[in-house]
Structure 1
Amino acid sequence: MNLLNKIRYKSFWLLDSLKGGHLKKDLNGISNSFQISSFSLLQNQNAPILKKLLDTVVTTSEFYNKYKLYKSLDDFPVINKLTIKENFDTINIVPKNSKDIVKVSSSGSTGIPFQIYWTKMKARRNKADVIFYANSAGYTIGDQLLFVRLWTKKYRKPIFIKKALNLVQVDIESLTDKNIETFISKIKSKKYPKSFIGYPSGFEKICNYLDKVKSPPLDCNIQSIIATSETLYDNVREKMAYYFKAPVVSRYSNEENGIISQQMIGDKFYTVNWASFYVEIFDINEDKPLKYGELGRVVVTDLYNLATPMIRYDTGDLGRFCNFENDKIPKLKDVVGRRKDVLYNTKGEIVSPFIIHTNLYNYPELNQFQIIQKSKYDYIFKINCKSKFEKEDEFTSIFKSYLGPDAHILIEYTNEIPLLSSGKRRIIVNLYKP
Structure 2
Amino acid sequence: MFTLQKLCFYILNLFDLTLKFNGFPIKKAEIALEGIQQINEDVFEVYINEKKQAIVDFHLKNNSFYKELAKDAISLDWNSIPVMTKRDLQQTLDKRLSKGFTRKNVYINKTSGSSGDPFVFAKDKFCHALTWALIKNRFGWYGLDFNSSKQARFYGIPLDKKSYYKERFKDVLSKRYRFSVFDLSDKAFHKYLTVFKSSKFDYINGYTSSIIQFAKFLERQNLNLKTICPTLKACIVTSEMLFENDKVLMETQFGIPVINEYGASELDLIAFQDPNNNWLVNSETLLVEILDKNNNVLPLGQEGRVVITSLYNKAHPFIRYDIGDIGILSTQSTFKKPILEKLIGRTNDIAILPSGKKAAGLTFYYITKSIIEDDGNVKEFVIEQHKKNTFIIKYVSLYELSVEKMKLISKEMEQYLEKGLHIDFERKHQLERSKSGKLKQFSSLIQEP
Alpha-carbon contact 1:137-1:224 (below 8 Å) kept: yes
Change (3 A) 1:326 1:175: closer
Q: Aligned ranges for residues 6-155 of structure 1 at < 5 Å?
A: 8-10=11-13, 22-31=25-34, 33-34=36-37, 38=41, 41-65=43-67, 66-67=71-72, 69-86=74-91, 88-94=93-99, 97=102, 99-141=104-146, 142-153=148-159, 154=163
* CA displacement, residues 194-239 of structure 1 (integer Å, 9 cap, x when unaligned): 2111001111221122122222453211112110111112233222
Candidates 425, 437, 442, aligned match of 1:423: 437
- The CA distance in 1 between the partners of 2:169 and 2:110, in whole Å, is 24
**TM-score using structure 2 length:** 0.84
Residue 155 of structure 1: how far off its partner (Å)? 6.8
Paired-residue identity, %: 23
Deviation of 1:7 after TM superposition, in Å, equals 6.5
Equivalent residue for 1:264, pick from 256, 267, 274:
274
* 1:295-346 residue CA offsets vs partner (Å, 9 max, x unmatched): 1111100111111111011101111110346877331111122122244666
Q: Answer whether contact 2:367 2:412 (CA < 8 A) is retained.
A: no
Give the C-alpha shift of residue 364 in structure 1. Answer: 2.6
The AA in structure 2 aligned to 1:274 is S
Alignment partner, residue 421 of structure 2: 408
**Structure 1 residues 228-377: aligned runs within 5 Å:** 228-267=238-277, 269-283=278-292, 285-324=293-332, 329-343=337-351, 347-350=357-360, 352=363, 354-377=366-389
1:131-179 deviations in Å (ceiling 9; x for gaps): 1122224422311111111111547546554333211111101333223
For 1:263, give the aligned amino acid: Q
Tell me if structure 2 keeps the 8 A contact 1:378–1:407. no
Contact 2:239 2:262 in 1 (8 A): yes
Question: TM-score scaled by structure 1?
Answer: 0.87
Matched, 1:433 2:448: yes
Q: Is the 8 A contact 2:383 2:442 kept in 1?
A: yes
1:212, 1:302 → 2: CA distance? 44
Is residue 322–residue 332 contact of structure 1 (8 Å, CA) maintained in 2? yes
Counterpart of 1:394 in structure 2 is 408
Deviations 1:177-203 (A, max 9, x none): 22321222222233x352111001111
Return the alpha-carbon distance in structure 1 between the equivalents of residues 180 and 8 of structure 2.
Answer: 24
Give the unaligned 5+ runs of structure 1: none
1:178 partnered with 2:190? no
Which of 296-305 and 138-147 deviates more?
A: 138-147
State how far apart, in whole Å, the 2-side matches of 1:17 and 1:117 are: 18
Query: Aligned partners of 2:128 and 2:85: how far apart in 1?
Result: 21
Corresponding residue number in structure 1 for 2:392: 380
Offset of 1:53 from its aligned partner?
1.1
Deviation at 1:67, TM superposition (A): 4.4
Q: How big is the shift at 1:396?
A: 1.8
How many residue pairs align between the two structures?
426
Kept in 1: contact 2:305–2:324 (CA 8 A):
yes
> CA 1:368–1:432 in 2, change beyond 3 Å: closer, same or farther?
farther
Q: Supply the distance in 1 between the matched residues of 2:117 and 2:16 (Cα, whole angstroms).
A: 37
Q: 2:152 is matched by which residue type in structure 1? A: L
CA distance in 1, matches of 2:207, 2:263: 12
Q: Which moved more, 1:365-374 or 1:306-315?
A: 365-374
